[in-house]
Chain A
Amino acid sequence: MAPALIVCIGNELAADDGAGQAVYLALKETRLPEGTRLEFLGVGGMNLLETFSGEDHLVVVDAVQFGAAPGTVHTLDWDRIPSLGQRPVSGHGIGIREAIEVGRRLYPEKTPKHVHLIGIEGKCFNTLGAGLSAEVAGALDAAVKQITDLLGGLQPA
């Protein structure tokens, strides 16, 4: 089994932005393949780079807004992970794609070669204290299954 790192990103205070946190808690109770490391990040961006320690595979779990029905769980490989925008105007605008592109150039020994995103389509992101929407809460099991299936099928790098 190739060493893999799962990073769940989210903010449980902000409605469906809490999807990553909820999946993190569920994964903590799930048997994961040996050699898998599980991390939680309150924010993504450049902080993602700090979590790498030379794993072959990275799986990022986060809420997304790709325009699908709320609760849809997307599994995207590297080629399909979108950029957050070429030129962010604020520290809020740095995405995982940018962070990994930087990591690959500056810290190639640490940065995972293979990257997947498990994106849970959210419905509401702008109301604090609202909890997960029913659609997202109902998608957590599917997200965990997609993650364990993905990990089971990973080849050594």
Chain B
Amino acid sequence: MTTTITIDPVTRIEGHARILLECDATGAVEKAHFCVNELRGFERILVGMEAHTMPQITARICGVCPTAHHLVAAKALDRAAGVEPPVAARLLRELMYMGHMIHSHALSLFVLTGPDLVFGLDGAPATRNIVGMVETTPDLAKKGLRLRSLGQKINETIGGRGIHPVTAVAGGISFRLNDAQRSRLQELTAEAVTLVTELFGRTKGLLEDFLQKYPSLLEKINSPTWYLGTVNGGRLNFYDGNLRAMDAEGRIRSEFSAIDYAGVMAERAVSRSYAKEVFLDIDGNEHLYRVGPLARINVADGMETPLAEAEFATFRKNFGRPCHNAILQIYAKLIELISACEKAQMIVNYPALQGETRVAAHFTGGRGIAHIEAPRGTLIHDYEIDERGIVRKANMIIATQQNTAAINASLKEGADAVLGEGSDEAILNRLEFIVRCYDPCLACATHALGRMEMDVEIIRNGRTVRRMRRD
């Protein structure tokens, strides 16, 4: 006898996640499925478009990581045109990207996960949210949101006004930084470093208290996987470098350029989702792997900046390599947030930032493949461009696609721990919390208004025997 538990928004809205739990006769979870209902036509609409529009068009695919798409598309076009952008362009792109990482990680940590850390996993959701957090810990909320806003301003100062950046082009960046823009960036990055220094200890303290209160989270959500992330000279890098694959025992099994991704990353269509699942194909076997903050911290030998490096060392001492615990993605994200703030400040003070920013780029027919570490994990763009500069084929690998199998494994472990004795509310809270640790991309649509309650259904032999609903 099999029991299926469905967690689903009542009103079916494209772009939102469902959780299916298949239980056996004893109530143990046999399988968990996190279903992503994706936007259709992702790559298809790009075919036939002019290649030089890719950075702007792809930035609009996603509401939460536009800059990652914008920059990886520009990098892929550089490769297709066979050009190397000038140093100043590379630095400006990376600085824009640090702004985006700061914005995205601060949002994820303080707005999404913050209420879990402040209020714990028990109790009504009506108070355990960002509004409740603003009332209970206004200083923390205000500083966290300010940091998010600083990241967005850094991003906009270089990327152009608005959420969707427009300045990265094939061959570089479309403008040169003037003195006024540079001093503004110096102010913004200095404030970001000051803020993150203040916020870090406090947030880490909240996480430690939280983990003490819920010790099972550290004990249980440890499904071993492989890891993939980007390193430059062995150190964690968001913008560029080699992709490094690590096995579940912590051995580095491959280090490769994104150009060779198709030989290592195997894509496979799955029936439950529009998204393809991806595995690492190494030594003739397919390996389940994770991308994102925890994966990056696992594969890296160290960090580029002092505060982040100190915290990285503490993480490694306490949790080893690799660390398999899904909840500790929160800690990994915090280390990355420090790193992005420090790196931004480092770049803004390089004299080379104000040099030439663009070389001519022409398409003579060929392929352009590039990658970047999006906030949620490795993102690859792959274009075939004809001699007239038209996109003939496009392929993208996004973070959530790579993480889906690991999210399923974490949900199975998490559900097993609470299903037996947990109340409805406890089950919902914990499963949502686990998903939130991965902060998955759902459909990259921006429409955001409608009803989205959670619904839990337990089905036995095709009949609904229990239904729990949250308004």
Partners in one complex: yes
A70 within 8 A of B: no
Give the residues in chain A near B16, CB-CB below 8 Å.
93
Q: Which of A12, A13, A41, A50 has the most CB of B within 10 A?
A: A13
B39 touches A102 (CB 8 A): no
- CB-CB < 8 A to A11: which residues of B? 60, 63, 445-447
Query: Smallest distance from the beta carbon of A55 to chain B beta carbons, Å?
Result: 19
Q: Are B445 and A126 in contact (CB under 8 A)?
A: yes
Is A92's beta carbon under 8 Å from chain B? yes
Pairwise interchain contact B108-A42, C-beta atoms closer than 8 A: no
A interface residues (Cβ-Cβ under 8 A, vs B):
9-14, 16-17, 40-47, 49-50, 62-67, 81-82, 84-96, 98, 101-102, 105-106, 117, 119, 122, 125-130
- CB contacts (< 8 Å) of A130 on chain B: these are 41
A126 to B15, CA, bound (A): 7
With A41-B163, A46-B111 known as contacts, the answer to whether A128 contacts B450 (CB < 8 A) is no
Chain A residue, CB-CB nearest to B156: A50
Q: Does chain A have a CB within 8 A of B45?
A: yes
In the docked arrangement, what's the CA distance between A72 and B274, Å?
A: 29
Please determine whether A87 and B129 come into contact, CB atoms closer than 8 angstroms.
Answer: yes
- Shortest CB distance B345–A (Å): 22
In whole angstroms, how far apart are the Cα atoms of A129 and B164 in the complex? 17
Most B CB contacts (10 A, CB to CB) among A42, A66, A92 go to A92
Q: Which residue of B lies closest to A17 (CB)?
A: B447
Contact A42–B14 (Cβ < 8 Å): no
Establish whether residues A14 and B446, one from each chain, have CB atoms under 8 Å apart when the complex forms: yes
Q: How far is the CA of A11 from the CA of B134 in the complex (A)?
A: 29
- Complex: how many Å from CA A65 to CA B442? 17
Number of residues on chain B facing chain A (CB within 8 A)? 65
The answer to whether A105 and B63 touch across the interface, beta carbons within 8 angstroms, is no
Inter-subunit contact A102/B131 (CB<8 Å): yes
Contacts A65-B449, A67-B11 hold; do A91 and B41 have CB atoms under 8 A apart? no
Q: Mark B424-461, 1 if CB is under 8 A from A, else 0.
A: 00000100100110011111111111111110000000
Tell me whether A125 and B15 are in contact (CB under 8 A).
yes
When distances are taken between beta carbons in the complex, the residues of chain B under 8 Å from A90 are: 17, 64, 112, 435-436, 439-442
Contact B142 A45 (CB under 8 A): no
The 8 A CB mask of B134-148 against A (1 = contact, 0 = none) is: 110010011001001
**20 pairs, A vs B, C-beta closer than 8 Å:** A9-B448, A11-B63, A14-B446, A16-B447, A42-B66, A63-B447, A84-B450, A85-B453, A90-B64, A91-B63, A91-B64, A92-B15, A92-B63, A92-B443, A93-B16, A93-B452, A126-B38, A127-B40, A127-B41, A129-B41
Distance A85 CA – B295 CA, assembled complex (angstroms): 29
CB contacts (< 8 Å) of B435 on chain A: these are 89-90
Contact of A126 among B17, B37, B142, B439 (CB under 8 A): B37
- Majority SS at the chain B contact face: loop
Shortest A115–chain B CB gap in Å is 13
New A-B contacts (8) at CB < 8 Å, excluding given A65-B11, A106-B145 = A66-B449, A87-B125, A89-B17, A93-B448, A95-B448, A125-B445, A126-B445, A128-B39
Q: Is the CB of A87 within 8 A of B432?
A: yes
Q: Mark B61-86, 1 if CB is under 8 A from A, else 0.
A: 10110100000000000000000000
In the complex, whether B28 has a CB less than 8 A from a CB of chain A is no
Q: Which residues of B contact A45 (CB under 8 A)?
A: 63, 448
- Nearest neighbor of A128 in chain B, beta-carbon distance: B41
Q: With a CB–CB cut-off of 8 A, which chain B residues contact A92?
A: 15, 63-64, 441-445, 448
For residue A9, which residues in chain B have a CB less than 8 angstroms away from its CB? 446, 448
Q: Which 3 A-B pairs have the closest CB atoms?
A: A129-B45, A43-B63, A86-B125
Closest to B37 in A: A126
Q: In the complex the two chains form, what is the Cα distance from A10 to B164 in whole Å?
A: 12
Q: Quick one: which of A81, A89, A126 contacts B40, CB cutoff 8 A?
A: A126
Cα-based distance from A44 to B450 in the complex (angstroms): 13
Q: Which residues of B contact A119 (CB under 8 A)?
A: 449
Q: A11, A16, A49, A84: which has the most chain B beta carbons within 10 Å?
A: A11
Partner of B107, one of A13, A91, A101: A91
For residue A45, which residue of chain B has the nearest CB?
B448
Q: How far is the CB of B214 from chain A (nearest CB, A)?
A: 16
Supposing A65-B11, A91-B112 touch, asked if A102 and B145 sit within 8 A by C-beta, the answer is yes
Contact check, B149 vs A50: say whether CB atoms are below 8 A apart.
yes
B440 contact set on A, CB distance < 8 A:
89-90
Closest-CB distance, A127 to chain B (whole angstroms): 5
A66 CA to B447 CA, complexed, in Å: 12
Question: Which residues, 33 to 73 on B, are CB-close (under 8 Å) to A?
Answer: 37-42, 44-45, 57, 60-61, 63-64, 66
Bound together, the chains give a CA A120 to CA B159 distance in angstroms of 30
Query: Which residue from chain A places its CB closest to the CB of B66 in the assembled complex?
Result: A42
B448 adjacent to A84 (CB under 8 Å): yes
* A134 → B minimal CB distance (Å): 18
Chain A residues positioned under 8 Å from B446 (CB to CB):
9-11, 14, 17, 42-44
B133 to chain A, nearest CB (A): 9
Q: Please measure, in the bound complex, the distance between the C-alpha atom of A88 and the C-alpha atom of B442, giving whole angstroms.
A: 11
Residues of B within 8 A of A50 (CB): 149, 152
Do B152 and A47 touch (CB < 8 A)?
A: yes
Contacts of B40 on A, CB cut-off 8 Å? 126-128
- The verdict on A128 contacting B45 (CB below 8 Å), with A65-B11, A86-B129 known, is yes
Q: Judging by beta carbons under 8 Å apart, are B448 and A44 in contact?
A: yes
Shortest distance from the beta carbon of B101 to any chain A beta carbon, whole Å: 13
